[in-house]
């Protein structure tokens, strides 16, 4: 299976479908709708990507919300359960990191929850470092926050961010 990561609009049908599945999964884990801070919208999410298979089936998604001139927050990372463990999440994450580097940001941050040990393992494995809860998540007992410092582009090595392949 070939995975294609495409830039899409926030209201693209594949984006809407995947974000709805992500929210349903989170609500199932936490027992209802709750999210510290403002819910992301098409107005505040800088970029959004969807991974598709060869047949055009949406597999997963992820976006970035610009926080300031130096960093952004990863929002709505999700891979359909049928495609977890296939490398889709890593491909989406690397594309987000590449976008962040191209935008001139020096780091990406994110929030996940204590009831998402799979996400915690994933981000740790992918080189993200646990940081104190920030912003809207600072007082959330269920939140776990991470960051990844993006490394400057080295044309000689053709590296766009730390750990990219």
The domains found in the chain, sorted by start residue, are 4-149 (3.40.630.30)
Query: What is the token pair recorded at 162?
Result: 């730390």
Instruction: Give the separation between CA 51 and CA 36, rounded to whole angstroms.
Output: 26
Residue with the two structure tokens 């199932």: 28
At residue 96, the pLDDT reads 97
At residue 43, the pLDDT reads 95
**Do residues 142 and 30 make contact, with C-beta atoms less than 8 angstroms apart?**
yes
Mean pLDDT of 62-86: 95
- Strand ranges in the chain using DSSP code E only, listed in sequence order: 4-7, 47-52, 58-66, 71-79, 107-113, 129-131, 143-149
Q: What number of CA atoms fall less than 13 Å from residue 122's CA on the CB side?
A: 22
**Measured on CA atoms in the order 46, 89, 17, 111, is the torsion positive or negative?**
negative
Given a cut of 50, whether residue 71 has pLDDT beyond it is yes
At residue 162, the pLDDT reads 39
CA 101 → CA 13, 65, 95, 155, distances in Å? 27, 14, 10, 13
Mean pLDDT of 73-100: 95
Other CB atoms within 10 A of residue 81 CB: 9
Residues 6 or more apart in contact with residue 79 via CB below 8 angstroms: 51, 59, 60, 88, 89, 92
Can you give the pTM of this predicted structure?
A: 0.89
Other CB atoms within 10 A of residue 61 CB: 28
């Amino acid at each position: 299976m070939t995975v294609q990561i495409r830039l899409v609009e926030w209201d693209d049908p594949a984006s809407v479908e995947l974000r709805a599945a992500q929210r349903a999964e989170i609500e199932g884990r936490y027992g209802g709708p709750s999210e510290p801070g403002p819910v992301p919208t098409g107005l505040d999410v800088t970029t959004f990507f969807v991974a598709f298979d060869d047949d055009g089936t949406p597999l997963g998604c992820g976006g970035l919300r610009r926080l300031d001139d130096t960093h952004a927050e990863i929002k709505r990372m999700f891979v359909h359960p049928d495609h977890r463990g296939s490398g889709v999440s890593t491909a989406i994450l690397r594309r987000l990191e590449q976008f962040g580097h191209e935008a001139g940001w020096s780091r990406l941050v994110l929030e996940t929850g204590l009831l998402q040990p799979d996400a915690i393992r994933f981000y740790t494995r992918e080189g993200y470092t646990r940081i104190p809860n920030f912003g809207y998540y600072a007082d959330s007992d269920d939140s776990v926050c991470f960051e990844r410092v993006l490394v400057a582009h080295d044309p000689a090595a053709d590296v766009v961010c730390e750990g990219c392949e």
